[in-house]
């Protein structure tokens, strides 16, 4: 029997950098039209561990509608001006900024906290990251944030990384920090 030579392991691969041209689709960040009566802008910047913008990232969001209903409409890429699918996808610009035009989700259960689920794809990541954007406390049912199981399990500083802030125009500002000081809390999500 001959001995096999030592094999050099294949280096690990990261996702990207192809998000800006391979995955976005027309009006992907526009879940509703800006003229929709409940339209709100969700925006922010994706930052690396040094606080520098990440220019090659893509975000997906999933959310309930204004009444807290999770859409069962087919065709999540539909942008016909009438169908709310609760799904959006937007690439960041060359300085890491993203924006979605959507609605504020209602609570998905009586008194539940209102949030938007976010999935982040970015260069340098070995896998996508999942997190949540919670509406500011003033926009939540009374006590909803205190009773949310995820938020209740986190120290105060980490909870703060999941709360959006309201800007002067009524939009929701939410920066995502991939690592380092002030790192956004990411969730361990099992895929089925």
Model confidence at 187, pLDDT cuts 50, 70, 90, reads very high
Residue 31 has pLDDT above 90, yes or no: yes
Q: Kindly report the CATH number assigned to the domain that includes residue 166.
A: 2.60.130.10
Q: What is the pLDDT of residue 174?
A: 98
Model confidence at 17, pLDDT cuts 50, 70, 90, reads low
In this structure, is residue 48 part of a structural domain? yes
Is 1 within a domain?
no
Burial class of residue 52, CB neighbours in 10 A (0-12, 13-18, 19+): exposed
Residue 109 lies in a domain: yes
Instruction: For residue 53, tell me if it sits in a domain.
Output: yes
Q: What is the domain extent for residue 105?
A: 19-177
∠ CA 18-21-26, rounded to 5°: 140
The answer to whether residue 58 is domain-embedded is: yes
**147 — pLDDT class (breaks 50, 70, 90):** very high
**What local confidence, expressed as pLDDT, does residue 19 receive?**
60
- The average pLDDT across 25-45 equals 93
* pTM to 2 decimal places: 0.87
Does the residue 35 lie in any domain? yes
Give the DSSP H or E segment for 59.
strand 57-62
**How many domains does one find in the chain?**
1
Give the mean pLDDT of 137-155.
93
Closest Cα partner for 162 from 123, 153, 111, 70? 153
91, pLDDT greater than 80:
yes
Report if residue 171 sits inside a domain: yes
On whether residue 14 sits in a domain, the answer given is: no
Mean pLDDT along residues 97-106: 97
């Amino acid at each position: 029997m001959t001995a096999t030579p030592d094999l050099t392991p294949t280096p690990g691969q990261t996702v990207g950098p192809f998000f800006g041209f391979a995955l976005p689709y027309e009006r992907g960040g526009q879940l509703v039209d800006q003229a929709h009566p409940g339209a709100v802008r969700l925006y922010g910047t994706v930052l690396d561990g040094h606080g520098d913008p990440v220019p090659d990232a893509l975000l997906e969001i999933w959310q309930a509608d204004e009444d807290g209903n999770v859409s069962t409409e087919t065709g999540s890429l539909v942008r016909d001006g009438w169908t709310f699918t609760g799904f959006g996808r937007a690439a960041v610009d060359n300085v890491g900024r993203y924006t979605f035009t959507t609605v504020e989700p209602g609570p998905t259960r009586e008194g539940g906290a209102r949030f938007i689920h976010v999935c982040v794809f970015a260069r340098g990541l070995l896998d996508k990251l999942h997190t949540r954007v919670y509406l500011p406390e003033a926009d939540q049912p009374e006590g909803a944030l205190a009773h949310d199981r995820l938020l209740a399990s986190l120290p105060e500083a980490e909870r703060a990384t999941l709360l959006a802030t309201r800007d002067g125009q009524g939009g929701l500002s939410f920066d995502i920090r991939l690592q380092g000081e002030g790192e956004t809390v990411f969730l361990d999500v099992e895929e089925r």
